[in-house]
Amino acid sequence: MSKGLIIGGGVVLLLVIIGLVVYFTMSGGKEKTPEPEQAPACESGKIITGQTGSLGACSSLIDIKPTEIKFQGAFFSPLNPLRSADWIHELSSSPSKREFIASHQSPDNWCKMVRFEITKDNGDCNYKVIDAGYTTSPADASTCTTKPQVLSHWGSKNPQALATSNEENGYGIETLKYSKYC
C-alpha cells in the first residue's frame, strides 16, 4: 500500500471522527425525539338534547363519559327528574358501541329505566336513545340504585313506551350531559 493512500485514509478517518464529535457536542449527545402529541383538552358540561345526535370527534368511546340525565315523559312525577352519573350504569361495551341504563327510583314504587347508546363511526361519536322499561322497586327501600340492581331490573323489565316529550306517555331522555376527554 502506498504511503499517500494510508495518509489519505487517515485524513478521511480523522474528518469522520471530528464530524461525530461536533454532532454529539451540538446535539447534547442525544438524538432528538419527536414531541408527543398533545391530548385534547377536557370538555366538561357538554349537553345533547333529543333522541339522537352527534357528540363530535372522538378517538375512543372511552373519551365520552355520561355525567347527568334529564328524563322526560308524562309518566314521571314530578316531571323531568335529574339523575347524576351515579344513576347511569354501563350495560355493555364493545370497540364500536357502549350501552347504558339511566335509572330513576320513583316515589310511587317503580324503577324507571331508559337505555341509550354511544357509538363510534369513522372518528365521530354518536348518541341514541334506544328503549325504556320499568319494574317494581319500593321507594322506602329502593332496589334501583346500584349497578347490579339496575342491570337485574333491566333484565326483567316490563317494556314501556319511549317518550320524546313530557306530553307523551312513557319514559325518555330530554338531555344528556357528558364530558369528553376528561
Q: What is the pLDDT of residues 32-86, one digit of tens each?
A: 556 667 878 999 999 999 999 999 999 999 999 999 999 999 999 999 999 999 9
Q: Whole-prediction pTM value?
A: 0.79
Note down the domain range covering 102: 46-180
The whole-number pLDDT of residue 17 equals 54
In a domain, 96, yes or no: yes
In a domain, 36, yes or no: no
Which class for 161: exposed (0-12), middle (13-18), buried (19 or more C-beta within 10 A)?
middle
Task: Say yes or no to pLDDT of 16 above 90.
Answer: no
The whole-number pLDDT of residue 5 equals 44
Same domain, 2 and 92: no
The whole-number pLDDT of residue 164 equals 96
In a domain, 37, yes or no: no
Same domain, 56 and 16: no
What are the Cα distances from residue 149, in Å, to 28, 64, 71, 101, 131?
Answer: 60, 24, 20, 11, 18
The three-state secondary structure class of 178 is: strand
pLDDT, tens digit, 9 for 90 and up, residues 105-162:
999 999 999 999 999 999 999 999 999 999 999 999 999 999 999 999 999 999 999 9
In a domain, 10, yes or no: yes
The whole-number pLDDT of residue 134 equals 98
Instruction: For residue 21, name the pLDDT band (cuts at 50, 70, 90).
Output: very low
Instruction: For residue 19, name the pLDDT band (cuts at 50, 70, 90).
Output: low
Task: Say yes or no to pLDDT of 13 above 50.
Answer: no
The whole-number pLDDT of residue 74 equals 97
What backbone phi and psi angles, to 5 degrees, belong to 128?
-155, 130
In a domain, 159, yes or no: yes
Q: What single DSSP character describes residue 138?
A: -
The whole-number pLDDT of residue 20 equals 46
Same domain, 98 and 129: yes
Same domain, 26 and 60: no
Task: Say yes or no to pLDDT of 3 above 50.
Answer: yes
Question: How far is it, in rounded angstroms, from Cα 37 to Cα 16?
Answer: 35
Residue tagged 451540538 (cell numbers)? 26
What backbone phi and psi angles, to 5 degrees, belong to 142?
-55, 140
Largest Cα–Cα distance of the chain, in whole Å?
106
HSE-up of 148 (CA within 13 Å, CB side)? 0
Same domain, 96 and 7: no
The three-state secondary structure class of 149 is: helix
77 close to 166: Cβ distance less than 8 angstroms: no
Q: Report the domain count for the chain.
A: 2
The whole-number pLDDT of residue 39 equals 77
